[in-house]
Structure 1
Amino acid sequence: MTEISKKDISVWWALTPLCVMITSMILTIVAFQGEPHLPLIIGTGTAALVAWKQGYSWKEIEEMMFRGIRLALPAIIIIMLVGLTIGAWIGGGIVATMIYYGLKIISPSIFLVTITIICAIVALTVGSSWATMGTIGVAGMGIGMGMGIPAPIVAGAVISGSYFGDKMSPLSDTTNLASGLTNTDLFVHIKHMLYTTVPSLIIALLVFTYIGRDFGKDAIENERITQTILDMQANFVMSPYLLLIPLLVIVLVMFKVPAVPAIATGIVMGFFSQIFVQGDDPSYALQVLQNGYTIDTSNEMVAELFNRGGLMSMMYTVSMTIVAMTFGGIMEYSGMLKAMMDQLLKFIKSTGNLIASTLGAAFLTNATCSEQYISIVVPSRMFATVYKKKGLHSKNLSRSLEDGGTLTSVFIPWNTCGVFIYTTLEVHAFSYAPYAILNFTVPIIALIYAYTGFTITKIEKTDRSQQTTLIRKKSM
């Protein structure tokens, strides 16, 4: 690995790539209805020019980009596996079976609450919001839309549940990343996050209970459910035994099988289900894995639900992730993000302002570097010393990184999380944003705690409690 020399960059030079990227992003997306890839490439090129102007060699600039991409490789693998899973589970009739029994069993009035809780449990078990949204979330979209619930509302419930489970899971990559970078015990970190996430989940469930109270009363909605079931029966063989496949994946993860082989097992099982249960040719089953499933139906909603999946459907997200990480890599390893953070730190006087700045910095990094990993990595390095100087326990920092970084990533359309959700659930970030209730209430609650001091732990208090515990143990 090439060693990158450290150079001081002024905040004005550091802001140049950021301003260029944001300006081109606004013009491309808002004015020309384009995609976010090119603005990020323009931003990457500008960042490379600034780094070169400041004395970095091209080899060093390349290494910055490669380091950024390396950070995202685990996420890229999950993205590709999710695309294969969606194709295999749709082709194998697993998604149709989940939708079928969901429409039969779940009442429309409690569906939003139910899918939120289910996604929370699954994400808590598998440790991945993306894997949850790409499997249970896809089925949930089908059930909800079949009941006549607007797609953005269903997506908001799926996202809220998935991100709650992801944050609380000891298997989650972002949870481990935040605790590891701040030298916080993993379970101390998770326990401290309960103070912001549990109240937010309760609020989300209450709101979804209120929203869902009127669904299912309309005769037109009941007719839509009946027609959806009939169309699925005409195209798929549905059996309760197919539900054993997603259950198997969950059980494997519960028994400490890593996420990648567990998800791969589900893909293989879905592939064989398409051949032996649905009766499709192996050649078509392979094509579904590659390019996704296609269904011939006049029902537009059913077509929208099942014409998706496959490895190639995720290449948009994969390319977006790579481009975002090249930009983020240069911005971080050249010191440009540090230059901006250092200016921000000059205005921090109180504990409330420090935590608010951490939340804001994580969100800003999400918006500018388009990747939730960088929104955890960069602020953790910039703020760690400040938290120590103010006598704050590291768990305050680790929680703030997740509250401001992990959860807010879904609101940025060009962030890899926003792009993934759009690719998987087919709902734009601006549409589901008002209904991703957990994701925006957590930062609000975190801000309230920051300025009231509630749950903000000082190092001295923690040390005293640890010493007391040790004395008690010795006396026993």
Structure 2
Amino acid sequence: MNENKIPEKYTYIILTFTLISIISCIILNAFLFYGFMASIIFSIYLCRKSGFSIIELFNMIKRGLYECKSLFILMALIGAMIPIWMSSGVVPTMLYYGLKYMKGTNFLFSAFILTSVVSIFMGTAFGTISSVGIALLALSKIFGIPNYILLGAIVSGAFIADKSSPISNLFNLTLETVKIAYKEAITSMLKTLLPTCFISASVYYFIGKKYSVVIENSNINNFMYAINSNFTVSPLILLLPLSIIIMLFLGIKMLKSVFLALIAGIVVSIVFQREGFNHIINAILNGYNINTNFVQLNTVLVSGGMISMISVLLIIAGAVSLSSIFQETGLIIPVIKRITSKIKSSEELILKTGLISGALTIISDQSVGIILPGKFLINKYKELKVKNCILARTMADTGTIIAPLIPWNVNSLFIFITTGISTISYAPYAVLCYVSPIITFIFAFLHKFQGRKQTKEIQVKNTIK
């Protein structure tokens, strides 16, 4: 990583141009990839003027894309997995039992709790949203809950994985960056996570209460009959999504787990649901739909396929390429140094850590929002005698957790292609993603008062002696 090659003025020019390009695409409803490409070309131009060669810059992009190869493959596999969840009967079975046992409950509250628990065991927000999330969203159409409100609750629960699950790649990246053990990190993390979850759950409980009447009046029996008439429904089919959780828990990597579950889903589609092989291949590529006499079931069981992932993969490639340039040229470093050079207190350090991690996640991605502040602030934490576990907690609570709120972020793009619901629609209801940074900043000032109290106690003890 280069620290001093790029003039500071170029840093601010590039960052400003990037934000304008991306926001312009959103406002004009243009393909977001164009915004990233414009920013990449502009960044390369100014980086070349700063002494970097074209070969160096293209190698940075190549390394970044190569490091994310697993993400691209995973996205393609999930594009294939979602229609298989439909054809194999996983989603219909979840719908059937969800209707049977969740009738009369506070569905929004239950959905948040369910996704929170599942995400911890799966270790991935992507996996949680593309399995449990899809089934819950299908239920929302029956229960009369707007899908964007329910998705907000699902996103809140799912992204707990990225900030606290022991098998989360991002959380393990955080631990590795600041050099602490999981036990130390999670002990500190729970201090902010528990009140955050409590507040979020309370909000979803009160919002969900207004939909309980709709649930009781829904034509649930007819819907359950339609599912039973068109699919083989059995609790055994739920072993398919459960198998992913079990494989991840056993340490099998996400790609292998999803691939094996995909193969199993194809077999179940053919053997149990009597789907033709050609129909399955078509669903994997182009998406799934069903034609029954029950119109509502037809509108619920619809999904895209692998081809629908192409545009999102291009956008992600653009985001990763730009992020690689930012990280490897050291373009962001002058900004970090300017912000942190005059920090004098622990609460100011925690506040600015959150702002830096959040800002880097907004203009780049979660990994940059972890690696850069983690590496460049760890000595400052040592200097001010603030534990590294607080550095890890702050980055997880501010940078990692806000990713699904950023329309051009990889996470938001994934959610959009998986659910068809835009970031702007669900973001206001992703309560946990807002509450988490607020709770962290409140704890920063509590840390200040705790420090003062400890200082006074030491002074009193010294006086007595």
- TM-score (norm: length of structure 1): 0.89
In the superposition, relative to structure 1, how do residues 270 and 195 fare at CA in structure 2: closer, same or farther (>3 Å)? Answer: same
Identify the range of structure 1 (208-217 vs 415-424) with the bigger mean alpha-carbon deviation.
208-217
Q: Once structures 1 and 2 are overlaid, which stretch shifts more, 385-394 or 173-182? A: 385-394
Residue among 423, 441, 445 paired with 2:439? 445
Match of 1:254 in 2: 249
The aligned counterpart of 1:27 is 24
Q: What does 1:209-358 correspond to in 2, within 5 Å?
A: 209-218=205-214, 221-223=217-219, 225-226=220-221, 228-296=223-291, 302-358=297-353
The Cα offsets for residues 103-124 of structure 1, whole Å up to 9 and x where unpaired, read as 1110354212222222122211
CA distances 1:377-405 after superposition (whole Å, capped 9, x unpaired): 22222322221221221111111111111
Shift, 1:258, TM fit? 2.8
Inter-partner Cα distance in structure 1 for 2:447 and 2:306: 47
Distance in 2 separating the partners of 1:286 and 1:113:
37
How far is the alpha carbon of 1:282 from its aligned partner? 1.1
Residue 392 to residue 12, structure 1, CA distance change in 2 (3 Å)? same
Tell me which residue corresponds to 1:193: 189
Residue 343 of structure 2 aligns to a residue in which SS? Answer: coil
Tell me what 1:167 maps to.
163
Q: Cα RMSD (Å) of the superposition?
A: 2.4
**Separation in structure 2 between the aligned mates of residue 300 and residue 327 of structure 1, nearest angstrom:** 45
> What does residue 385 of structure 2 align with?
391
Q: Could you tell me whether the CA contact under 8 Å between 1:361 and 1:379 is conserved in 2?
A: yes
Q: Residues 301 and 172 (structure 1 numbering): CA distance in 2 closer, same or farther, change over 3 Å? A: farther
Q: What are the ranges of 5 or more consecutive residues in structure 2 without an aligned counterpart?
A: 456-465
Aligned counterparts of 2:53 and 2:314: Cα–Cα separation in 1:
25
CA distance in 2, matches of 1:219, 1:56: 61
The answer as to whether partners of 1:109 and 1:209 remain within 8 angstroms in 2 is no
Q: Residue 11 and residue 134 in structure 1: after superposition, are their counterparts in 2 closer, same or farther (change >3 A)?
A: same
Shift of residue 221, structure 1, vs aligned partner: 4.7
Q: 1:102-141 alignment to 2 at 5 Å? A: 102-141=98-137
Could you give the per-residue CA deviations for residues 296-316 of structure 1, whole angstroms, max 9, x where no partner exists? 368776445322143223333
1:201 counterpart SS class: helix
1:18 and 2:15 matched: yes
Is the CA contact (8 Å cut-off) linking 2:36 and 2:319 kept in structure 1? yes
Task: Letter of the 1:290 partner, please give it.
Answer: L
Could you report, residue by residue, the CA deviation over 1:114-156 in whole angstroms, capped at 9, with x for unpaired residues?
Answer: 2222212221112111101000000011112210001111101
> Which amino acid in structure 1 is aligned with residue 302 of structure 2?
N
Aligned to 2:373: 379
Residue of structure 1 equivalent to 2:48:
52
Alpha-carbon distance change, 304 to 387 in structure 1, aligned in 2, over 3 angstroms: farther
Give 1:451 deviation, angstroms.
1.6
- From 421, 426, 435, the counterpart of 1:432: 426
Shift of 1:406: 1.2
Q: Is the 8 A contact 2:143 2:214 kept in 1?
A: no
Between the aligned partners of 2:284 and 2:138, the Cα distance in structure 1 is: 20
Who is 2:68 aligned against? 72
CA distance in 2, matches of 1:290, 1:114: 33
Which residue type is aligned with residue 383 of structure 1?
L
Identity %: 26
Say whether the 8 Å CA contact 1:85–1:309 is kept in structure 2: no
Stretch deviating more after TM superposition (135-144 or 421-430): 421-430
- 1:28 alignment partner AA: C
Cα shift readout 1:229-268 (whole Å, capped 9, x = no counterpart):
3544454332222112222332233333333222222111
Task: Please state whether the residue corresponding to 1:293 is helix, strand or coil.
Answer: coil
Which stretch has the larger CA shift, 37-46 or 282-291? Answer: 282-291
2: distance between equivalents of 1:412 and 1:172? 21
The structure-2 alpha-carbon separation of the partners of 1:259 and 1:214, relative to structure 1 and needing over 3 Å to count, comes to: same
- How many residues end up aligned between the 2 structures? 454
Shift in alpha-carbon separation, 1:192–1:77, aligned structure 2, 3 A: farther
Q: CA deviation at 1:198?
A: 1.3
The whole-number CA distance in structure 1 between the counterparts of 2:73 and 2:443 is 37
Q: Which amino acid aligns with 1:425?
A: T
- Structure 2 CA distance, aligned partners of 1:331 and 1:423? 26
Q: Which residue of 1 aligns with 2:463?
A: none
The 1-side partners of 2:419 and 2:147 are apart by: 9
Q: Residue 399 of structure 2 is aligned with which of 372, 396, 405?
A: 405
